[in-house]
């Protein structure tokens, strides 16, 4: 008999599996890891459930609980002050939380495959004032903001065989998400890891979507010279809000024409710098060499074989560059020991003090921390001092000077609220927190 206790224990083991993000058996003392396809990936429990008592390093700031009671929340969007849409990974739900209370019925529940990193993974909401009000085929007038969702769709409630990592566009009408339109259909196999799932809307109003290698290491988009053409894995995709390609970079055929970046092992975070319009991402390594990257059009992150900073003697001809259209770039920051970075957020607010305005915040899942980075004057690199001036945190001690807040439990998302405060989504605590001035 499956009782509540055994269900909970099963749920916790899912949590453990999803958050390990691949701990290899080897130690890692060099910056760059030249990984092999057969690298062992051993389950572990190096993630943070959190204490329920988050801490902000600056004594003038504090964290306050907004809501608790979510099951494995992966991503959120804010419709207004105290008004959240939140995804639950394994239930396949989109919930609305208004003034501290969750609506009794989800706005949407879909069939998701939820094994390991599969599930209901990403959300973005269009700015209603920017959206087109008529669909491209002139058939459907949109009556609410568009809500974009990334999920690993399953065959049926009874059969959780994955049929794709898919991005749909919905309309929000009367607390329901309706009129789904499939925008892009990406692979979900072999899997079950490295589905990515982050969605953000650019200053150009296009969608930017991450997907990892989905446990496959086969295509040119993963720097495999003799691999097949790019198959829709290992990259950052750019599409219009109708799902159309924007401007091809690495190839003309679909899905090559939708790649904005490639060579991406797994990414759970994207954001545009509002001051420059530059895109940045976070990427997870195989137990080491997590990254923060400046993502220019045609960016090649180097996977496979590079994760982290390329070694000094690396032969760049090993990488696929699509006739010179793809350009490899080293990360702007690397954690040698994995932290499992997720959301990257440019903090376009002075509400926490001028010292944080337009800083970059990055969250993690292994420690439940938020890191604070300053950018240089032209905002193409981070300002790093002392032992991280090499752009590499070789030890946890090197990371500590960058910790802005901690003890949140695994963090899967960050958002700026309409009030200018910082909102934190805790997977480990099933909770939303707010960081504000004391
Ligand atoms: Ca990289
Ligand atoms: Ca700052
Ligand atoms: Ca260093």
How far is the centre of ligand 1, averaged over its atoms, from the C-alpha of 332 (Å)? 9
Q: Which homologous superfamily is 4-437 in?
A: TolB, C-terminal domain (2.120.10.30)
Q: E strand or H helix at 398, and its extent?
A: helix 396-400
Residue 280 has pLDDT above 90, yes or no: yes
How many whole angstroms from 288 Cα to the centroid of ligand 2? Answer: 27
DSSP structure class, residue 25 = S
For the cut 50, the answer to whether the pLDDT of residue 421 exceeds it is: yes
Distance from the CA of 157 to the center of ligand 1, in angstroms?
A: 37
Per DSSP, 130 falls in state T
pLDDT for position 127: 72
Alpha-carbon distances of 350 from 110, 166, 336, 356, rounded to whole Å: 38, 36, 32, 7
Cβ neighbours around 336 below 10 Å, total? 24
Q: Which ligand is nearest to the CA of 309?
A: 1
Cβ neighbours of 8 (radius 10 Å): 10
Ligand with the closest atom to the CA of 346: 2
* Alpha-carbon span 384 to 381, nearest angstrom: 9
Q: What is the pLDDT of residues 86-145, one digit of tens each?
A: 999 999 999 999 999 999 999 999 999 999 999 999 999 997 543 444 444 544 445 579
Q: What is the mean pLDDT of residues 48-72?
A: 94
Q: Which ligand ends up closest to the CA of 282? A: 1
Give me the residues paired with residue 171 across strands. 146, 178
pLDDT at residue 11 is higher than 60 = no
Q: Which ligand is nearest to the CA of 308?
A: 1
Cα(27) to ligand 3 centroid in Å equals: 17
Handedness of CA 226, 228, 229, 232 (dihedral sign): negative
With 90 as the cut, is the pLDDT of residue 15 above it? no
Number of alpha helices (DSSP H) and beta strands (DSSP E) in the chain: 2, 32
Q: Which residues surround ligand 2, an ion (CB under 5 A)?
A: 355, 359, 374
Per residue in 290-333, pLDDT (tens digit) is: 999 999 999 999 999 999 999 999 999 999 999 999 999 999 99
What is the average per-residue pLDDT within 369-396?
97
Residues 215-242 have pLDDT tens digits of: 999 999 999 999 999 999 999 999 999 9
State which residues have CB under 5 angstroms from ligand 3, the bound ion.
Answer: 387, 390, 392, 394
Name every residue whose Cβ is closer than 8 Å to that of residue 312 and which is 6 or more positions away in sequence: none
Q: What is the pLDDT of residue 48?
A: 78
Ligand 3 midpoint to CA 29 (Å): 11
The two tokens of residue 52 are 């329920």
What own/partner pairs with CB < 8 Å and gap ≥ 24 does 374-382 have?
375/273, 378/276, 379/273, 379/275, 379/276, 379/278, 380/276, 380/278, 380/294, 381/294, 381/332, 382/292, 382/332, 382/333
State pLDDT tens for residues 344-359.
Answer: 999 999 999 999 999 9
Cβ within 8 Å of residue 421, ≥6 positions away: 349, 351, 352, 434, 435, 436
With a pLDDT cut of 70, the percent of the chain lying above it is: 85
Mean pLDDT of the chain: 88
Q: Which ligand is nearest to the CA of 335?
A: 3
CA dihedral angle for residue 385, residue 391, residue 393, residue 399, rounded to 10 degrees: 50
CA 79/CA 418 separation, integer angstroms: 9
Rounded to the nearest whole angstrom, what is the distance from the C-alpha of residue 277 to the centroid of ligand 3?
28
Question: How far does the centroid of ligand 3 lie from the alpha carbon of residue 308, in Å?
Answer: 13
CA 239–ligand 3 middle distance (angstroms): 37
Residues of the chain with pLDDT > 90, as a percent, come to 83
- Give the ligand at the shortest distance from the Cα of 332: 1
- Ligand 3 center to 388 CA (angstroms): 4
Query: What pLDDT, on a 0 to 100 scale, did the predictor assign at position 143?
Result: 56
DSSP state of 245: B
Sign of the torsion angle spanned by Cα atoms 126, 408, 357, 377: negative
Element (H, E) at 62: strand 61-68
Distance from the CA of 58 to the center of ligand 2, in angstroms?
12
């Amino acid at each position: 008999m499956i009782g509540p206790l055994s269900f909970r224990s099963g749920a916790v083991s899912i949590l453990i599996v999803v958050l390990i993000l691949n701990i290899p058996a080897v130690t890692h003392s060099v910056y760059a890891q030249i990984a092999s396809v057969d690298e062992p990936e051993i389950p572990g429990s190096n993630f943070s459930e959190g204490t329920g008592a988050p801490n902000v390093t600056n004594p003038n700031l504090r964290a306050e609980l907004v809501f608790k009671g979510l099951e494995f929340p992966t991503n959120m969007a804010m419709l207004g002050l105290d008004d959240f849409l939140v995804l639950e990974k394994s239930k396949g739900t989109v919930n609305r939380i208004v003034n501290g209370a969750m609506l009794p019925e989800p706005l949407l529940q879909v069939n998701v495959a939820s094994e390991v990193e599969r599930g209901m993974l990403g959300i973005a909401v269009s700015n209603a004032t920017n959206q087109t009000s008529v669909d491209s085929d002139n058939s459907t007038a949109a009556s609410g903001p568009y809500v974009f969702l990334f999920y690993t769709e399953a065959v049926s409630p009874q059969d959780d065989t994955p049929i794709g990592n898919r991005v749909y566009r919905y309309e929000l009408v009367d607390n329901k998400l309706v009129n789904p339109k499939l925008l892009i259909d990406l692979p979900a196999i072999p899997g079950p890891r490295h589905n990515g799932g982050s969605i953000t809307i650019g200053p150009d109003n296009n969608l930017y979507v991450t997907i990892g290698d989905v446990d496959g290491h086969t295509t040119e988009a993963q720097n495999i010279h003799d691999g097949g053409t790019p198959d829709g894995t290992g990259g950052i995709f750019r599409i219009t809000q109708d799902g159309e390609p924007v401007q091809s970079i690495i190839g003309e055929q679909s899905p090559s024409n939708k790649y904005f970046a490639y060579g991406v092992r797994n990414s759970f975070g994207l954001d545009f710098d509002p001051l420059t319009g530059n895109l940045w991402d976070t990427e997870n390594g195989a137990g080491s060499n997590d990254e923060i990257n400046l993502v220019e059009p045609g960016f090649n992150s180097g996977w496979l074989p590079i994760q982290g900073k390329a070694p000094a003697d690396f032969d760049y001809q090993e990488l696929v560059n699509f006739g010179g259209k793809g350009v490899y770039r080293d990360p702007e920051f690397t954690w040698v020991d994995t932290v499992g970075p997720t959301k990257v957020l440019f903090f376009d607010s002075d509400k926490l003090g001028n010292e944080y305005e337009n800083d970059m915040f990055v969250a993690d899942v292994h420690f439940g921390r938020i890191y604070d980075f300053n950018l240089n004057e032209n905002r193409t690199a981070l300002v790093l001092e002392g032992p991280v001036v090499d752009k590499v945190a070789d030890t946890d001690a090197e990371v500590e000077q960058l910790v802005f807040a901690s003890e949140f439990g695994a963090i899967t998302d960050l958002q700026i609220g309409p009030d200018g405060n910082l909102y934190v989504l805790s997977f480990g605590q099933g909770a939303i927190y707010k960081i504000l001035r004391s």
